[in-house]
Amino acid sequence: MNLPEWRPGHTSGNTPVTSPLTSVWQAERIALLWLLALAPAVGFAIWQEPAGWLRTAFLVALLLQAWQLLFRLMLPPAGALFSIQDLVHALLFALLLPVDFGIREIVFTVSFGSVFGDRLFGGRGFSFLNPVVTGMGFALFTFSSTSSDIPLSAVPIAALLIPAIVLTSVELISIRTLLGILASAVFLLAGSPGEAASWQLEQSSTLALVALYLVTDPAAGGSTDASRFAHGLLFGVLAMVLLHADQDVLAAAINAALLASLSAPLLDHLVVQMLAYRRGQRLLLQRRAVVDAVMAAGKEGRSPAAGPERDQADV
């Protein structure tokens, strides 16, 4: 079949317009919701260690803002002057950075995460990694000998319940990812119930923080129903394997999140290939049905259709 040439046929006097409607789901409002969802964890952190935690959070926020300004100057127009998303990342960094990190370590960690996990690729939505996971992965790899790996604060899991419900109910994070994580946890802990009981608050809190705020990041996770679940499941399994390999809990959680993020595009690809294969099969079946219909009509001595070459078609 010859395809007709495509030519834009704009009719004169018709100016394309945007919709008079505007969705409430603007990027900054979504970031604001993430900020609100972080409130319980931040509250606990401030309550436990007010001066130290706020100092770290302030430093991280300042660093992220500095990178934002620098990249805006280098590659205009790259985003707004100030972004709430950066604040979200700053709080997450502050919640996870180990307690004995000095200023030098913090600067390197945050800069690496921000530059390589986010800005070099064009900002949020262009990279497939979460900048916090990237930065923390780098830190735990580079400064592992100097750090004790204990985060500044420990947040009870119960305090994360409400944010989890809020974020899933407005569909900013996928409930399938959370279910995947839970499924892996239940399956693996069922084998050794004593182990979970022996965990300290810091351990369970770190795992829950990483699982809820970093693994579920839609920009760094699966993008189909099946791959979202698989991504959560993979994170859970990897975290447990790394814990058993005697990694401490923060390193295990971050490394598991990093590896799961790296394999998320592969999971997506597999799911999409499967769906595309099914679509191809369906098209094939349709073609066969048409050929069968034409053959059957030919045997009966009539033509069911349609084209100009079939003049005497039966009506």
**Three-state SS for 151?**
strand
Taking CB under 8 A as the rule, does residue 74 contact another protein?
no
The angle subtended at Cα 100 by Cα 97 and Cα 102, nearest 5°, is 85
- Residues within window 118-137 making contact with another protein, judged by CB under 8 A: 122-126
Residue 12 or 198 having the CB closest to another protein: 12
CB of 66 to another protein, least distance (A): 21
- Residues within window 255-284 making contact with another protein, judged by CB under 8 A: 268, 271-272, 275-276, 279-280, 282-283
Residue 217 or 248 having the CB closest to another protein: 217
Residue 163 and residue 215 in contact, taking contact as beta carbons nearer than 8 Å: no
Candidates 44-52, 143-151, 222-230, 236-244; binding stretch for another protein (CB under 8 A): 222-230
Candidates 104-112, 157-165, 241-249, 297-305; binding stretch for another protein (CB under 8 A): 297-305
CB of 60 to another protein, least distance (A): 22
Of 86, 137, 286, 299, which one interacts with another protein (CB under 8 A)?
A: 286
Taking CB under 8 A as the rule, does residue 294 contact another protein?
yes
Residue 66 or 284 having the CB closest to another protein: 284
Taking CB under 8 A as the rule, does residue 306 contact another protein?
yes
Residue 72 and residue 79 in contact, taking contact as beta carbons nearer than 8 Å: yes
Q: What are the tokens at 147?
A: 């750090």
| Other C-beta atoms lying within 10 Å of the C-beta of residue 148 | 11
* DSSP string of 247-273, one letter each residue: --HHHHHHHHHHHHHHHHHHHHHHHHH
Taking CB under 8 A as the rule, does residue 299 contact another protein?
no
CB of 71 to another protein, least distance (A): 14
Q: What are the tokens at 181?
A: 């994580």
* 151 DSSP β-pair partners: 98
- Residues within window 174-213 making contact with another protein, judged by CB under 8 A: 174-176
* 98 DSSP β-pair partners: 151
Per rule CB under 8 A, count of chain residues that contact another protein = 75
**What amino acid occupies position 167?**
L
| Residues 113, 115: Cα–Cα separation, whole Å | 6
Q: What is the DSSP letter of 311?
A: T
**What amino acid occupies position 228?**
R
Residue 114 or 206 having the CB closest to another protein: 114
Q: Which of 105, 117, 102, 129 is nearest to 71 (CA)?
A: 117
Taking CB under 8 A as the rule, does residue 9 contact another protein?
yes
Of 40, 52, 156, 218, which one interacts with another protein (CB under 8 A)?
A: 218
Candidates 100-108, 186-194, 239-247, 287-295; binding stretch for another protein (CB under 8 A): 287-295
Residue 30 or 107 having the CB closest to another protein: 30
Q: HSE-up of 131 (CA within 13 Å, CB side)?
A: 31
CB of 258 to another protein, least distance (A): 18
Q: What is each CA distance from 38 to 46, 199, 272, in whole angstroms?
A: 12, 23, 33
Of 51, 158, 190, 315, which one interacts with another protein (CB under 8 A)?
A: 315
